[in-house]
Structure 1
Amino acid sequence: MNWDLQSPHTLDIKVRADDIDELGHANNTVYVGWLERCAWEHSKSLGLGLEHYRELDRAMAVLRHEIDYLAAAYEGDELVMATWIIHWDKKLRMTRHFQLCRKRDGLTLLRARTTFVCIELSSGRPKRMPSIFIEQYGKGLTDDSQD
C-alpha cells in the first residue's frame, strides 16, 4: 500500500452484505465503525484496552471526526485501514490520522482525522491523561508527527 505516513497500525476489513446501503455501496456509518475498530486495536496493541480504561477511570473519547470519502467500497472488497497517532498535547488531546485502501488496486477510499479528548469515565468530564496513557500512547506516536 502507498501509505500517507510510515509504519502504520493496520486492520484488515472485508466488506460484508450488511455493510451495504440502498445505494449499493458501504454506508458512511460503517466507515465510522471501522475507524473506531482500528483505533481500539491500535490502543490494545499499545497495552491500553477497555479494562485499563475502566481501572483508571479514564478514556480517550471522540471529540471530532473529519472524514473525506474518496471512493466507494462494495460487498466483497478486501480493505486495509491504517492509523497513526500524529499529534498529542500529553494533557487532554490526541489526534489520529486514518487511511483506508482497497487491497486489489491500492486505491485510497478514505482519509480521516479524529481528535480524542481524555475523559473521566465516571463523570464524562475532561481530565488529564494519566501517566500510563502518556507512556503507552507515546509508543504509538508516528515519527512524522508533531509532539
Structure 2
Amino acid sequence: MGWDRATPFVIDLQVNAEDIDGLGHANNAVYVTWLERCAWRHSQRLGLDLVEYRRLDRAMAVVRHEIDYLAAAYEGDELQLATWIVDWDQRLKMTRHFQLIRPSDNTTLLRAQTTFVCIELSTGRPKRMPPEFIEGYGVALMTSGILTD
C-alpha cells in the first residue's frame, strides 16, 4: 500500500448506498464521519476509550479539520483509512494525519489533518492532558518514528 508514513493505524471501510450523494459519489460529510471513526478506533487501541475519558474527566476534542478531497469514492468501493499522530505538545494540542486509499487501484482519495485540544469533560474548557494521555498517545508517536528519545 502506498501510505504516506510508516506504521499506520488502518481501518477498513466500504462505501454503502446511504453514503452516496446526488452527484453519485460518497458525500463529503461521510468522509468526516470516517475520520472520526478511525481516530476513535485508534484511541481505543491505545487504551483511551470513552470509559477512560469519562474516568479521567478529559477528552480530545476536534478544533480544526483540513481535508483535501483528491478523488471520488463510489458505492461498493472497499477503502482503507490510515491515521498517524504526528504532533503534540504533551499539554493541550495533538495533530493527526489521515490518508484514505482505494486498494483496488491504489488511489489516494483523501488526505486530512485534524487538530485536537484536550478538554475537561465536566466544564468543556481546555485542560492539560493527564499522564494517561501522555503515555497512551506517546506510544503512538514513538511507533510512528516521529517522537524519539
TM-score by length of 1: 0.98
> 2:133 is aligned with what amino acid?
F
- Partner in structure 2 of residue 50 of structure 1: 50
- Partner in structure 2 of residue 144 of structure 1: 146
- Partner in structure 2 of residue 103 of structure 1: 103
| Aligned 8 A contact 1:70 1:108 in 2 | yes
1:59 aligns with 2:59: yes
Over the aligned positions, Cα root-mean-square deviation in angstroms equals 1.2
SS in 2 for 1:23: coil
**Mapped partners of 2:71, 2:30: distance in 1:** 14
SS in 2 for 1:140: helix
Displacement after TM superposition at 1:103 (Å): 1.4
- Partner in structure 1 of residue 71 of structure 2: 71
**Mapped partners of 1:144, 1:25: distance in 2:** 35
Q: State, as a whole percentage, how many aligned pairs show the same letter.
A: 69
**Mapped partners of 1:6, 1:143: distance in 2:** 8
Q: Which runs of 5+ in 2 are unaligned?
A: none
> 2:145 is aligned with what amino acid?
D
After superposition, residues 76-91 of structure 1 pair within 5 angstroms as: 76-91=76-91
Q: Which runs of 5+ in 1 are unaligned?
A: none
- Partner in structure 1 of residue 115 of structure 2: 115
Q: Which aligned runs of 4 or more in structure 1 are off by greater than 4 angstroms? A: none
**Mapped partners of 2:96, 2:131: distance in 1:** 19
- Post-superposition Cα deviations, 1:11-59, rounded to whole Å, max 9, x if no partner, equal 0000000000000000000000000000000000001000000111100
| Aligned 8 A contact 1:87 1:146 in 2 | no
Displacement after TM superposition at 1:146 (Å): 8.7
How many residues align? The count is: 147
SS in 2 for 1:98: strand
- Partner in structure 1 of residue 135 of structure 2: 135
> 1:126 is aligned with what amino acid?
P
